[in-house]
Homo-oligomer: A and B are copies of this chain.
């Protein structure tokens, strides 16, 4: 048990014995730190842990108070704030992720575990025709326009799209990449070096862990609220106590939690980073898939210092097949462009041109409205089905966008075991172990609801629920 868990347990004991009562103020972090000879970080983490247990609540500028609902568990079915280990770790999740994704993509398994959107809802025939037309033109096949930063037509369309959504982007800042994966890799390489500590959400999108692993850096998971995102106060305590080279987050419709970080939290995060001069790598690949009426804001919009390196792609909103992503690297633009050149030389022109044609000539917004509506409905169906057919004690996320549901199973269910048993039945799921450097999410799974609802999907969800129930009893 860590020190902060010990402290949290001790205080929980005091609350349960009514030594601390509802409304009582806890010692300030500073007082408790001094009195107990513990670091500020340890006390902060203990308080956050108590908060995640629903035992205390923080009031801005005042401190922590014993909660009105002290002693009760969080509302049934609701996920709690995560409280990952407070230490940074080298990363080695890629083998697990690769073997999992490979079996997910093999054969005709029901793709509940897929990270990709169902291509059937995407305008792939139209894109394919544009790619074909571009491919017939000899002049487009050479080096021309393929070199970094990317094809001028696509750069223009991307800048225009941001502008429509309220973010002023200079086309000259954009670097086209092989998917958001390459964008995140080169942005991270531009701002940090091997051995550095990178702060991430918990659970974390595994591609971020991969970027950290690739460079031999260390990941430090930060407590993350299932609906509001990374805990900015917890991050503040961390950066006050140790060097953090960069922060990698997904503020909108995070994979796997699906939350939409509120604007004031986004702003607070950017301000915190600015105070400490810490670059933030922001992944915005799900931004176009909001269930609410308005397009979500980005961290980039609050960034006045060029410290936000915004990464995105068309893979989740238009086509996964073309692997076209980009970076808006702020003050690191030239370094990122150079790293793109070193890493893969060029991004192919034809898919860039096909997408640019689509954005210029067709109804991207119309297409997006259709899939957003479908995903929002399918999210509700998937959540309802899981709540109905999964074993007691199961909790689900409430996605505000995207096409992924995060499910907490009873503690005794091991997600990797569930994954293997489901695979035997021709069903795939995303095991929680992929989303963390610790073993913190071994009883969590990620489900993809992008496929139009069908009996097959429904039967698959019911089957996974039954297997999970068996695991919960058997363990």
Q: In the complex, what distance in Å separates the CA atom of A443 from the CA atom of B108?
A: 60
Which residues of chain A from 110 to 165 have a CB within 8 Å of any chain B CB? 111, 114-116, 119-120, 122, 124-125, 127-129, 131-132, 135-136, 138, 140-148
A102 within 8 A of B: yes
A185 within 8 A of B: yes
Whether A321 touches B349, Cβ cut-off 8 Å, given contacts A101-B147, A102-B147, A131-B132, is yes
Contacts of A141 in B (CB 8 A): 119, 122, 124, 319-321
Which residues of chain A from 198 to 231 have a CB within 8 Å of any chain B CB? 207, 210-211, 213-214
Contacts of A361 in B (CB 8 A): none
A351 within 8 A of B: yes
Contacts of A105 in B (CB 8 A): 142-147
A386 within 8 A of B: no
Nearest residue, chain B, Cβ from A354: B135
A342 within 8 A of B: yes
Whether A125 touches B116, Cβ cut-off 8 Å, given contacts A178-B178, A181-B344, A211-B342, is no
Q: In the complex, what distance in Å separates the CA atom of A147 from the CA atom of B103?
A: 10
Contacts of A104 in B (CB 8 A): 143
Cβ-defined contact, A142 with B125, below 8 A: no
Partner of A342 from the list B147, B178, B210, B347 (CB cut-off 8 Å) is: B210
Nearest residue, chain B, Cβ from A315: B345
Partner of A344 from the list B111, B182, B346 (CB cut-off 8 Å) is: B182
Contacts of A111 in B (CB 8 A): 142
Cβ-defined contact, A341 with B98, below 8 A: yes
- 1/0 per residue A307-346: CB within 8 Å of B? 0000000000001111100000000000001110111111
Cβ-defined contact, A320 with B115, below 8 A: no
Nearest residue, chain B, Cβ from A129: B132
Partner of A116 from the list B116, B142, B214 (CB cut-off 8 Å) is: B142
- 1/0 per residue A82-113: CB within 8 Å of B? 00000000000011011001101110000100
A350 within 8 A of B: yes
Q: In the complex, what distance in Å separates the CA atom of A179 from the CA atom of B341?
A: 12
Cβ-defined contact, B213 with A342, below 8 A: yes
A348 within 8 A of B: yes
A262 within 8 A of B: no
Q: In the complex, what distance in Å separates the CA atom of A120 from the CA atom of B142?
A: 10
- 1/0 per residue A337-374: CB within 8 Å of B? 11101111111111100000000000000000000000
Please name 6 further chain A to chain B contacts, defined as beta carbons within 8 Å, in addition to the given A95-B338, A141-B319, sorted by A numbering. Answer: A94-B342, A105-B143, A105-B146, A142-B321, A179-B345, A182-B344
